[in-house]
Amino acid sequence: MISDESVWALAIHGGAGAGSQEAGAEEHAAQIRSALADVLRAGARMLAAGASALDVVEDAVKRLEDSPLFNAGKGAVYNERGEHELDASIMDGATLDAGAVAGLRTVKNPIVLARLVLERSPHAFLIGEGALAFAERHGVELVDPSYFGTERRRAAFEEAKRREVLHTPSSRPGDTGTVGAAALDAHGNLAAATSTGGMTNKALGRVGDSAVIGAGTFASNRSCAVSCTGHGEMLLRATAARDVAALMEYAGLDVQTAADKVIHERLASLGGEGGLIAVDNAGRVSFAFNTPLMLRGAVTHCAAPRVAVLAAE
Instruction: Give the 3-state secondary structure of residue 154.
Output: helix
CATH number for the domain that contains residue 155: 3.60.20.30
State residue 131 phi and psi, 5-degree precision.
-65, -40
Res. 175: pLDDT tops 60? no
Decide if 283 is inside a domain.
yes
pLDDT attached to residue 212: 98
Give the mean model confidence (pLDDT) for residues 21-38: 80
pLDDT at 167: 57
Q: Domain range holding 159?
A: 9-310
- Examine residue 4 and state whether it is found in any structural domain, yes or no: no
- Is the residue at 109 inside a domain? yes
CA atoms within 13 A on the CB side of 161: 12
Per-residue pLDDT, 104 = 98
Res. 172: pLDDT tops 60: no
- Phi then psi for residue 7, to 5 deg, are -95, 130
DSSP one-letter code for 31: H
Residue 3 in domain: no
Paired strand residues for 309: none
Average pLDDT, integer, range 174-181:
78
Q: Is residue 147 part of a domain?
A: yes
Distance CA 101, CA 176 (A): 21
More confident residue, 85 or 164: 85
Task: State the catalytic residues.
Answer: 178
Mean pLDDT of the chain: 92
**Residue 2 covered by a domain:** no
In a domain, 257, yes or no: yes
Domain total of the chain = 1
Q: Are strands 179-184 and 217-219 parallel, antiparallel or unpaired?
A: unpaired
Q: What's the pLDDT at 174?
A: 43
Give domain status of residue 40, yes or no. Answer: yes
